[in-house]
Amino acid sequence: MSPALAHTPNFVGWRALILHRPHQNVDALTAQCARIGIAAEQAWPTLENRDAMRDFNVLLIDADMGHDEQFPWAPGLAPMPMIALIGSEAPGRIAWTIGQGADAQLLKPIGSAGLYSALVVASQGFLRRTAQTEEIARLKDQLAQRQLVAEATAILMLKHNCDAGTAYNHLRKTAMAERRSIEKAAAGIIANLDTDGRTNVTNGR
Amino acid sequence: MNTYPIGVLFSRSGGYSRPAEQGYFGALAAVADINADETYPFQLEAHHADPKGNADRYAELCRDLIRQTGAQHIVGCTTSWSRKEVIPVVEKLDALLWYPCVYEGFEVSENLVYIAACANQQLVPLLDYIVPRFGGRGFLTGANYIWGWETNRIARDVLTRSGGSVLGERYVPIGDDDIDHLIEEIREKRPDFILNNLIGNSSYAFLAAYQALGKEDPAFLPENCPVVSCNLCENETTRLGTIAEGQYTVSSYFRALASEENDRFAARMKAENPEQVADAFFVQAYAAVVMIADAIRRTGSDEAQRVLEAVREHETTTPLGSLRVDPATNHVNLHAHIGRTRADGDFEIVHHCPKAIAPDPFLTATPLDRLYGGTAADARQLRVVR
């Protein structure tokens, strides 16, 4: 069991938006929501602007009649967990819900069960996806700054007349002393060298 | 005079036959009482099907009961496993299953009426009683299916959020009585109490072995480290000799509950069949049939949805008190009394729940951090070896 699920999930106070034409499936979902402590609203055919969507904790979308233009964001970038309501299990429709980033599915007709599992799965999936997106952005950023580290190491090799290992070690210690990342420390060393250069030139005049 | 068929779907053999037979006898007793009562202008006809403790038989037998006898109402199922098997059948055929047994919650079907306590009506009040008195270090045991797993998961959630802890968690297959490894682990871990979610023969074997352990080491006597259950009732404890003596059970009903109405009910049940013990499993099934009959009398029809509407709108007088089905959850308000087993197997009521508790099957309105404060640790300090 993941640590996040050791606790009994609680959705009390959540707001759900059901993007589906008025239908008894929507009524069944609204009733299921109420039992779990969630206030549900229905909308069709499109969502309001992104800001108005901020108040909702989960979005339920219609796999049968949904399309990309319904959403104020690009496919896959929904800022909340999404559950797809699937009637016809056609590969194209399922692919569309995946493209939208639906984390869980509910099959129509909606009966008296299923929403609770879908909510637990979708909210966990969304949390995991958000955390992974942030982690990937951080790693990409680190990767982009590799050149800074290489450049700073070279500067330190020349300055202290040492080998690459010693120079990198020096860079690492500087970063630790300054309590910042190696990439930031490297950027600092490069900036200092530029400043030093200009100062020297001025002094020379 | 009209006759309405009622399906009765309980196992009379298998690994949990004692609580299951209670359901069977309870439903039949209520049918006999309704038929003898002239204020009901109809007769009920009970049709019993016996799945013999095999979960895979329930769906098929339920379908047969509905299709072949025309029953709109099935009173039945003891384990959650069998109930989950039956749900698709009653939903498809638009019948009603009246489920009369304590269970773990996290379910609301439009075609079920739950005359049964979910976790906020049994486990949570049980822990509220036990932890401040004995301490919050629990050892969790259970039958190896959804009832044991989920009840123990909720217990773990409550204990770890409320200053307690879980020292061990072990499961036994339904009906299995090989529990020596469990006793060894408890001897080693030395918890403050044991939560017993075992059922039937496993539970009896465990209680016997645990009593033997208590004779060897007083730390495991019930006054020091009790076994607490949500589903161990009189029909079992009165037939088990003294092995459950001193242990605790939470229940919506005890035979020993003092009230004029219950005294009358208990006396009558005993007079009819002195061997027969009516416990919560019996009374909940009995109450289900009374509610069905009362609704048929009101609506003049046994049609499932009309009966459901009637029991949602009106209170029905039952041995469990006056019951009305909550339209949002199809559950009922129930008391959570706590009893301690006496030497004769009956219960001494140690906590009389003053007010029926509203059902909260998804635990959305029940705080799971129970604010026992320092009491869990304090209780342990106070009771060290008496």
- The verdict on residue B144 lying in a domain is yes
User: pTM of the predicted model, to two decimals?
Assistant: 0.84
Using the beta-carbon criterion (under 8 Å), do A112 and B157 form an inter-chain contact? Answer: no
- The verdict on residue B378 lying in a domain is yes
- The verdict on residue B36 lying in a domain is yes
Which has more confidence, A47 or B208? B208
B residues 157-176 lying closer than 8 A (beta carbon) to A: 157, 160-161
Using the beta-carbon criterion (under 8 Å), do A8 and B368 form an inter-chain contact? Answer: yes
Say whether both B164 and B240 belong to one domain: yes
Q: How far apart are CA A154 and CA A140, in angstroms?
A: 23
8 A C-beta contact, residue A122 and residue A103: yes
Say whether both B192 and B220 belong to one domain: yes
pLDDT at B374: 58
- The verdict on residue B282 lying in a domain is yes
Using the beta-carbon criterion (under 8 Å), do B365 and A112 form an inter-chain contact? Answer: no
8 A C-beta contact, residue B230 and residue B336: no
**Helices B123-134/B375-383 angle, 10° precision:** 50
Using the Cβ of B361 and the Cβ atoms of chain A, whether some distance falls under 8 Å is answered with yes
pLDDT at B263: 85
Show the tokens assigned to B200.
């039937």
Q: How far apart are CA B280 and CA B116, in angstroms?
A: 9
Q: How far apart are CA B80 and CA A184, in angstroms?
A: 58
Pick from B279, B297, B323: which residue ends a domain? B323
Show the tokens assigned to A84.
């797809």
- The verdict on residue B330 lying in a domain is no
DSSP string computed for B284-313 = HHHHHHHHHHHHHHHHS---HHHHHHHHHH
Q: How far apart are CA B358 and CA B337, in angstroms?
A: 14
8 A C-beta contact, residue A122 and residue A97: no
Using the Cβ of A113 and the Cβ atoms of chain B, whether some distance falls under 8 Å is answered with yes
Using the Cβ of B359 and the Cβ atoms of chain A, whether some distance falls under 8 Å is answered with no
Say whether both B56 and B82 belong to one domain: yes
Using the Cβ of B94 and the Cβ atoms of chain A, whether some distance falls under 8 Å is answered with no
Say whether both B248 and B374 belong to one domain: yes
CA dihedral A107, A109, A110, A115 (to 10 degrees): 0
A202: pLDDT strictly greater than 50: no
- Architecture of A145-204 per CATH? Orthogonal Bundle (1.10)
Show the tokens assigned to B325.
């089905």
Say whether both B80 and B70 belong to one domain: yes
What average pLDDT does the structure give for chain A?
89
Say whether both B243 and B190 belong to one domain: yes
What are A50-74's pLDDT values in tens digits? 888 889 999 999 999 999 999 999 9
Query: Which residue is closest to B94 within chain A, CA to CA?
Result: A111
B112: pLDDT strictly greater than 60: yes
Residues with Cβ < 8 Å from B320, sequence gap 6 or more?
B115, B252, B253, B283, B284, B287, B332, B334, B335
Q: How far apart are CA B243 and CA B214, in angstroms?
A: 11
Q: What is the arithmetic mean of pLDDT over B133-154?
A: 95
Predicted confidence band of residue B386 (pLDDT cuts 50, 70, 90): very low
Residues with Cβ < 8 Å from A30, sequence gap 6 or more?
A18, A40, A42
ipTM over 0.95: no
pLDDT at B262: 86
Say whether both B111 and B172 belong to one domain: no
8 A C-beta contact, residue B134 and residue B383: yes
CA B256 to each of CA B37, B102, B242, B345: distance values in angstroms, whole numbers, following the listed order: 26, 19, 17, 11
Which has more confidence, B263 or B290? B290
Distance from CA of B186 to the nearest CA of A (A): 23
Predicted confidence band of residue A194 (pLDDT cuts 50, 70, 90): low
A189: pLDDT strictly greater than 50: yes
Q: What is the DSSP letter of A10?
A: -
Say whether both B173 and B262 belong to one domain: no
B299: pLDDT strictly greater than 60: yes
Strands B248-251 and B337-341: antiparallel
User: pLDDT exceeding 70 applies to what percent of chain B?
Assistant: 96
Using the beta-carbon criterion (under 8 Å), do A6 and B157 form an inter-chain contact? Answer: yes
3-state secondary structure of B141: strand
Peptide bond into B226 cis (omega under 30): no
Name which of B108, B166, B360 to mutate to probe chain A: the one with the most chain A Cβ atoms within 10 A of its Cβ. B108
A204: pLDDT strictly greater than 50: no
What are B307-342's pLDDT values in tens digits? 999 999 999 999 999 999 999 999 999 999 999 999
- The verdict on residue B143 lying in a domain is yes
pLDDT at B384: 47
For residue B223, give its domain range: 120-256+337-383
Using the beta-carbon criterion (under 8 Å), do B109 and A8 form an inter-chain contact? Answer: no
- Alpha carbon of residue B304 to chain centroid: 24
Tokens 């982690």 belong to A135
- The verdict on residue B332 lying in a domain is no
Q: What is the arithmetic mean of pLDDT over B163-182?
A: 93
Say whether both B282 and B369 belong to one domain: no
Long-range contacts of B322-328, Cβ-Cβ distance < 8 Å, separation of 24 or more? B323/B115, B323/B287, B323/B291, B325/B113, B325/B291, B326/B358, B326/B359, B328/A31, B328/A34, B328/A35, B328/B108
What are B211-233's pLDDT values in tens digits? 999 999 999 999 999 999 999 99
Tell which residue, A52, A23, A55, has the closest CA to residue A39: A55
Beta bridge partners of B75: B8, B98
Rounded to a whole number of angstroms, the distance between the first and last alpha carbons of chain B is 65
pLDDT at B273: 78
Show the tokens assigned to B172.
């036994």
Using the beta-carbon criterion (under 8 Å), do B109 and A12 form an inter-chain contact? Answer: no
Domain ranges of chain A: 3-140, 145-204
Predicted confidence band of residue B351 (pLDDT cuts 50, 70, 90): very high
Predicted confidence band of residue B266 (pLDDT cuts 50, 70, 90): confident
Say whether both B372 and B229 belong to one domain: yes
Q: Domain count of chain B?
A: 2
Enumerate the residues of chain A whose CB falls inside 8 A of the CB of residue B361.
35
What average pLDDT does the structure give for chain B?
93
Query: Which residue is closest to A33 within chain B, CA to CA?
Result: B328
CATH of the domain at B268: 3.40.50.2300
Using the beta-carbon criterion (under 8 Å), do A36 and B109 form an inter-chain contact? Answer: no
| A18 φ/ψ angles, rounded to the nearest 5 degrees | -105, 110
CATH top class, domain A3-140: alpha beta
A residues 6-25 lying closer than 8 A (beta carbon) to B: 6-8, 10-12
CA B282 to each of CA B29, B288, B289: distance values in angstroms, whole numbers, following the listed order: 9, 10, 11
Using the Cβ of B346 and the Cβ atoms of chain A, whether some distance falls under 8 Å is answered with no
A residues 23-52 lying closer than 8 A (beta carbon) to B: 31-32, 34-37
Q: What is the arithmetic mean of pLDDT over A41-48?
A: 91
Q: How far apart are CA B65 and CA B60, in angstroms?
A: 9
Enumerate the residues of chain A whose CB falls inside 8 A of the CB of residue B91.
111-112
Say whether both B133 and B222 belong to one domain: yes
Enumerate the residues of chain B whose CB falls inside 8 A of the CB of residue A31.
328
Using the beta-carbon criterion (under 8 Å), do B107 and A113 form an inter-chain contact? Answer: yes
8 A C-beta contact, residue B124 and residue B102: no
Strands (E), A47-113: 58-62, 82-86, 104-107
